[in-house]
């Protein structure tokens, strides 16, 4: 879908790991590439879990993603790519002098956790 807007996917890669319980997970992955030069450095990392169980269905619960912030010098390009990919989520694209990511999560008891790059 993003190709209609001039965006491409980077080279496909593959990964695998064994969980502590012994289940082997395998996936294919690609990073979206901006159309033209000057695009943001915060682009989606796309994963196809194939036949493996999605980790969101097997991981212990406790935190819920409340907000995900993509900070970038080129917010318009990042917003366009997210829309072209049809991605939805609790995120916000914010202008910033340099690229960064911030995840804001809340626990069952209301405790807040922020992870930032």
pTM of the model: 0.67
The gap from C-alpha 102 to its chain's centroid, in whole angstroms, comes to 11
pLDDT tens sequence across 35-60:
555 555 676 677 889 898 888 787 77
Average pLDDT of span 15-29: 89
Strand 100-107 and strand 24-33: the pairing is: unpaired
Percentages (nearest 5) of helix, strand, coil residues in the chain: 15, 45, 40
The answer to whether 86 touches 1, Cβ cutoff 8 Å, is: yes
Q: How many CB atoms lie within 10 A of CB 106?
A: 14
Give tens-digit pLDDT for 56-65: 787 777 888 8
Residue 80 CB neighbour total at 10 angstroms: 20
Is residue 26 pLDDT above 70, yes or no?
Answer: yes
Nearest by Cα to 85 from 54, 43, 53: 43
Structure-block tokens of residue 60:
């212990």
């Amino acid at each position: 879908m993003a190709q209609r807007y001039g965006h491409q996917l980077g080279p496909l890669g593959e990964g695998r790991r064994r969980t502590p319980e012994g289940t082997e997970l395998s996936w294919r992955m690609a990073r979206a590439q901006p159309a033209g030069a000057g695009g943001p450095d915060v682009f989606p990392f796309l994963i196809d879990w194939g036949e493996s169980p999605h980790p969101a269905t097997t991981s212990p619960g406790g935190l819920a993603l409340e907000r995900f912030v993509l900070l970038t010098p080129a917010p318009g390009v990042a917003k366009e790519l997210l829309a072209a990919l049809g991605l939805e989520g609790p995120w916000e694209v914010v202008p910033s002098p340099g690229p960064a990511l911030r995840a804001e999560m809340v626990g069952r008891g209301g405790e807040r956790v922020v992870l930032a790059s």
